[in-house]
Amino acid sequence: MATARLLWPYLWPHSRKDLQLRIIASFVLVLVAKLVTVGVPFTFKWATDALVATSTGVAQAASAAPISWLVAAPIAGVILYGVSRVVMALIIQVRDGLFAKVAMHAVRQLAMQTFEHMHRLSLRFHLEKKTGGLTRVLERGRVGIEQLSRMFFLQLVPTIIEFLLVCAVLLGEFDWRYVVVLAVMIVAYLYYTVQATNWRMAIRRIMNDSDQDSNGKAIDSLLNYETVKYFSAEKREAGRYDRAMAVYERSSTKSYVSLAVLNGGQAIIFTLGLTVVMAMSAGDVLAGHVSIGSFILVNALMIQLYQPLNFMGTMYREIRQSLVDIDKMFQVLDEYPEIADTPGAKPLQVTGGAVRFDNVVFHYAANRTILRQVSFEVPAGKTVAIVGPSGAGKSTISRILFRFYDIAGGRVTVDGQDIRDVTQVSLRAAIGMVPQDTVLFNDTIRYNIAYGRDGASDAEVEEAADKAQIGAFIRSLPEAFATPVGERGLKLSGGEKQRVAIARTILKSPPILILDEATSALDSRTERDIQAALDAVSQNRTTLVIAHRLSTVVNADEILVLDKGVIVERGRHDELVKRAGVYADMWNRQREIAEAEEALKQRLADERAAEGEKVAPPQAAE
């Protein structure tokens, strides 16, 4: 009932009078269809009685009616039966067509609300959940809403109406005993169905969980295709997937066996009820209380009731399953966004784009502090770099600035405005990001670059690509900017993906720029080529550079050295090198590695040149 109350506003949309009229019209058609349905067995009765009267000649003795009427009466009954069946079928199809828009509108509205809510949930929520599992919740929720609305409005309610009409016919044509037998049979049938279905639901939950688990493992493995190949772990992944599928196999087998038990029990209960009613009717025929046509009538009514009653088991099962699936969707909707706009939050007003961290304390877990009293400022239009060893908390700073997480202490401001007091949309619109690990949409290069600014023209997209020094490469491809990049951009190299990310940020043209290891995926030569583009992009923009390669930050206005969540050094490149501290040590080590790499390249080049001189043919004398 709680789920039904939550779902009701979507099934009866108060703002859509047209859909409400469709629901009312559907109910009217349901009533008409059931009246016709219950009327169909009467055509059997009339035709049977007419055939009996014709074959025995009773009618001839009673009146002077012509023999042609006696022949026509059974035929008329058969024709009326056919017409009734056609009318019933047409009404049902019209009803289903009318209600389709209502059901799909509910599916669309709730699915969209859930999808939007998933994007509002915090980064922590998505890091803790498997993407495949969330998509299955969304998919099953959509199916559940459609099935529940159709089952309730188009199956459950019509079945109840038909049952009441059959009771009225039995009471009118026969007596109360038939109604009692029918009621006992229905109660026994439904009780058995409920108990057996509840037993099956536990099995179905295990089956669904195992299905979700196996699906999540498959998606996780395929998304990490390259990693699997790096470690030759195909068999390991296959075994992991097979173990999950083995659980699904066992639970699915139990589900099918339990379904057979359910269907078998339902058939036995209905057959016993049908047998008792038919025996009572046969006795009444022999006693002369009713005609043979009435015997046919009660049989047709019971057989006709069997189909919706048999479907009642499936209906209960599907409604319960749909409620479980919808409940999981509502559980996602009940997840409270960890990061939410404060009441009365206003859009960020960017005047210069100055960023300030003031005694910031942050931890992902209470017992693990990442940043400790971190304070620094990135003046408007200036570039500040943050360097340090892995795990020092460098990338955490960019996540805090984007407000993916809220800090435990201190303040973060943009032009003096606390980022917790402004809307998240306006804050993120003012910040551009070139991340360390670029993941692209499975679409074209043009789409991925244009993602930087909604509504950007083709010319603007191509200009951004040129500034990121990838335009010429894209135009050399057979499909140019219409080239698909594949799942997560796997059809492009790491450097190409990074350039697309840079072009996307260039197109966004934000006042604040974050470069989070933006050249980490590039080789030294490509890095030098693209660094000029990054310098041009960051010109007159407030830029925060998070870097591992110190060669990319030598021109920064200030460099912060972060170690174990604390700023241990700060200053310009030359100052820090002269200080002979942590930064100088990092710089010297990286320079030694770079010099060793250059020496190795030169030696290999010299060896290739010497090898070439040995095999070169002698020059002919002039």
pLDDT in tens, 194-244: 888 778 777 877 887 888 788 888 888 888 887 888 778 888 888 888 888
Reduced to 3 DSSP states, what percent helix, strand and coil does the chain have, rounded to the nearest 5?
70, 10, 20
* pLDDT tens, position by position, 460-499: 888 888 888 788 888 888 888 888 888 777 788 777 888 8
Residue 115: how many other CB atoms lie within 10 Å:
12
Mean of the pLDDT values across residues 248-252? 84
Q: Provide the percentage of residues in the chain whose pLDDT is more than 70.
A: 87
Alpha carbon 53 to its chain centroid, in Å, reads: 65
* Residue 251 vs residues 210, 257, 470, 494, 586: alpha-carbon distances, Å: 8, 10, 52, 43, 57
The model carries a pTM of 0.62
Question: Is residue 386 situated within a structural domain?
Answer: no
Residue 348 has pLDDT above 80, yes or no: yes
Does residue 245 fall inside a structural domain? yes
Report percent pLDDT > 90 for the chain.
1
Would the CA dihedral through 524, 530, 532, 535 be positive or negative?
negative
**Which band of pLDDT confidence, cut at 50, 70 and 90, is reported for residue 69?**
very low
Confidence band for 621, pLDDT divided at 50, 70 and 90: very low
Residue 561, domain member (yes or no): no
In a domain, 258, yes or no: yes
What was the pLDDT predicted at 275?
87
What is the pLDDT at residue 36?
79
Q: What is the mean pLDDT of residues 383-401?
A: 84
The span from the CA of 445 to the CA of 500, in Å, is 8
pLDDT, mean of residues 430-459: 85
Residue 291: inside a domain = yes
Lowest mean pLDDT across 72-81, 160-169, 314-323, 500-509: 72-81
- Mean pLDDT value across the chain: 79
Weakest mean pLDDT among 58-62, 187-191, 430-434: 58-62
pLDDT above 70: residue 332:
yes
Q: Does some domain include residue 428?
A: no
pLDDT at 408: 85
Say if CB 86 and CB 116 are below 8 A apart: no
Higher confidence at residue 292 or residue 431?
431
Residue 132 banded pLDDT, cuts 50, 70, 90: low
Confidence of residue 66 (pLDDT cuts 50, 70, 90): very low
Indicate the pairing of strand 383-387 with strand 558-563: parallel
Give the mean model confidence (pLDDT) for residues 512-520.
Answer: 78
Q: Is residue 268 in a domain?
A: yes
184-198, 366-380, 522-536, 587-601, range with the lowest pLDDT = 522-536
User: pLDDT digit string (tens) for 261-287?
Assistant: 888 888 888 889 888 888 888 888 887
| Residue 140 lies in domain | 2-334
- DSSP SS3 for 16: coil
Q: Which of 40-44, 302-306, 330-334, 372-376 has the highest mean pLDDT?
A: 372-376
Total number of domains in the chain? 1
CATH for 125:
1.20.1560.10
Q: Is the confidence at residue 135, as pLDDT, over 50?
A: yes
Note the maximum CA span of the chain.
139
